[in-house]
């Protein structure tokens, strides 16, 4: 086993997705579990020189005061999502990472997220101060571990929506705003993105928050010769939409209405219970239908926090479509998936593919990762299968 030399920096490092990502990485590294659920472990990617599970070392930012082992134990007890024994066997690794997690920033994250923050989280930093502090945390980790590279992944709670039109379109215009708190419209997810990419680290936005979406931040990535991608991991109901909508299109069946109700009870659900934060998420879940179908069926997406479900995201979708001679027909599906466990392997996949993209010298938006996201940056294609072919083509291209 070689020395781990690639860093993973998780924003929201003790949330559900981070906890299962960390637990899974530890379990994979120790050979306790197989690679089910990992796209990067598919035979079609076996020829790639992807980093090994033991090549990674994890740290990150968090705003709540909790311990990874407690979070994992709760997933095991409340949601029966992971086996208690597995948590026990990885407890040492979890505790070690706890010590590497630093206080995050709550700049413009909205009141619902803000309320979760512990007393150690600064309340009055300017954006630039927050970025500087965050950068120091990251750099110290890179130095102390002698890491070749750091990949920053945003798995924090969804921020309220903001108007991208209010953001200057060039880095030259945006940068000075960071020193002027009243003028700077960017939320924490974007501060982390800039913090990472100013230093040449890679950045992945696994949430629907703004992150590295603005053109000016993409420009920063290219200026620093680094890379980024987002946004919003495509794990369940939206994955199904991006699979089923092309079927209706290709069979010329006319979708009249598509209703999707999502219920779940984890921390993410609690934050999304705030109508503002929910708005960001619903927009991300809803847009792809009209892109795939080429017209606008009536759609409705709801997300409700139902505490007893814990991490078990249950989605009921009702699709009402017209067939031949205008006859109305119905497809319904019920998805019962464990939210964090659907997300975690994709986070690990994204990290592995991003590291390989770095070695291949790719910068800017990593569009070949579109199949992992609900709203892939810079990609028009919304059908899952076509997006997956982009990944395969990239894999088959000579490094």
- List binders of a copy of itself among 320-349 (CB under 8 A): 320, 322-338, 341-342, 344-345
Between 211 and 383, CB nearer to a copy of itself: 383
Going through 23-80 in order, the beta strands assigned E by DSSP cover: 56-62
Between 18 and 188, CB nearer to a copy of itself: 18
Neighbours of 19 (CB within 10 A): 30
Closest approach, Cβ 83 to a copy of itself, in A, equals: 7
Using alpha carbons, list the distances in angstroms from residue 348 to 155, 176, 188, 288, 355: 12, 34, 22, 25, 11
Closest approach, Cβ 391 to a copy of itself, in A, equals: 9
Closest approach, Cβ 397 to a copy of itself, in A, equals: 19
CA distance 377 to 52: 27
Select from 120, 136, 173, 307 the one that contacts a copy of itself (CB under 8 A): 307
Q: Tell me if 160 sits within 8 A of 282, measured CB to CB.
A: no
Between 35 and 129, CB nearer to a copy of itself: 35
From the list 182, 174, 164, the residue with the least C-alpha distance to 220 is 174
CA distance 257 to 384: 20
Select from 96, 139, 276, 306 the one that contacts a copy of itself (CB under 8 A): 306
Select from 34, 95, 120, 179 the one that contacts a copy of itself (CB under 8 A): 34
Closest approach, Cβ 137 to a copy of itself, in A, equals: 28
Between 34 and 120, CB nearer to a copy of itself: 34
With binding defined as CB under 8 A, does residue 166 bind a copy of itself? Answer: no
Select from 52, 318, 363, 367 the one that contacts a copy of itself (CB under 8 A): 318
Tell me, residue by residue from 194 to 233, as one string, x for binding to a copy of itself by CB under 8 A and - for no binding. ----------------------------------------
CA distance 248 to 323: 10
Tell me, residue by residue from 122 to 151, as one string, x for binding to a copy of itself by CB under 8 A and - for no binding. ------------------------------
Select from 8, 11, 22, 81 the one that contacts a copy of itself (CB under 8 A): 81
**Under rule CB under 8 A, how many of the chain's residues touch a copy of itself?**
76
With binding defined as CB under 8 A, does residue 246 bind a copy of itself? Answer: yes
**CA angle centred on 328, ends 327 and 333, rounded to 5°:** 140
DSSP for 265-301 reads: -SHHHHHHTSHHHHHHHHHHHHTHHHHHHSS--EEEE
Between 190 and 242, CB nearer to a copy of itself: 242
Burial, 294: exposed, middle or buried (Cβ in 10 Å; 0-12, 13-18, 19+)? exposed
From the list 296, 301, 313, 292, the residue with the least C-alpha distance to 387 is 292
Select from 46, 83, 95, 360 the one that contacts a copy of itself (CB under 8 A): 83
CA distance 393 to 399: 12
Whose tokens are 């559900």? That residue is 16
């Amino acid at each position: 086993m070689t020395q781990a030399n690639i860093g993973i920096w998780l924003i929201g490092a003790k949330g559900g997705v981070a906890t299962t990502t960390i637990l899974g990485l530890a379990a994979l590294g120790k050979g306790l579990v197989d690679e089910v659920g990992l796209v990067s472990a598919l035979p079609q990617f076996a020829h790639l020189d992807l980093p090994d599970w033991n090549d990674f070392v994890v740290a990150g930012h968090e705003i709540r005061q909790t311990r990874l082992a407690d979070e994992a134990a709760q997933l095991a007890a409340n949601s029966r999502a992971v086996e208690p024994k597995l948590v026990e066997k990885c407890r040492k690794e979890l505790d070690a990472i706890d010590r590497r997690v630093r206080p995050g920033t709550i700049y413009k994250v909205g009141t619902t997220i803000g309320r979760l923050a512990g007393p150690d989280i600064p309340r009055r930093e300017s954006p630039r101060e927050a970025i500087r502090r965050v950068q120091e945390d990251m750099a110290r980790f890179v130095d102390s571990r002698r890491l070749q590279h750091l990949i920053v992944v945003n798995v924090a709670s969804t921020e309220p929506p903001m108007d991208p039109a209010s953001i200057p379109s060039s880095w030259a215009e945006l940068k000075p705003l960071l020193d002027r708190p009243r003028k700077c419209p960017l939320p924490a997810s974007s501060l982390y993105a800039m913090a990472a990419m100013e230093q040449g680290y890679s950045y992945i936005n696994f949430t629907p928050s703004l992150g590295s979406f603005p053109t000016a931040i993409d420009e920063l990535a290219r200026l620093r010769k680094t890379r980024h991608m987002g946004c919003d991991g495509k794990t369940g109901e939206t994955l199904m939409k991006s699979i089923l909508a092309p079927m209706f299109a290709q069979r010329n069946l006319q979708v009249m209405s598509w209703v999707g109700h999502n219920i779940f009870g984890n921390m993410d659900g609690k934050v999304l219970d705030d109508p503002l934060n929910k708005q960001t998420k619903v927009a991300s879940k809803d847009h792809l239908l009209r892109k795939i179908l080429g017209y606008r069926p009536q759609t409705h997406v709801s997300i409700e926090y139902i505490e007893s479900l814990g991490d078990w995201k249950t989605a009921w979708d009702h699709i009402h479509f017209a067939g031949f001679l205008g006859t109305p027909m119905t497809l319904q599906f019920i998805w019962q998936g464990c939210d964090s466990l659907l997300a975690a392997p994709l986070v690990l996949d994204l990290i592995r593919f991003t590291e390989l993209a770095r070695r291949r010298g790719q910068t800017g938006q990593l569009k070949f990762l579109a199949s992992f996201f609900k709203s892939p940056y810079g990609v028009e294609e919304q059908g899952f299968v076509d997006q997956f072919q982009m990944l395969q083509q990239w894999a088959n291209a000579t490094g």
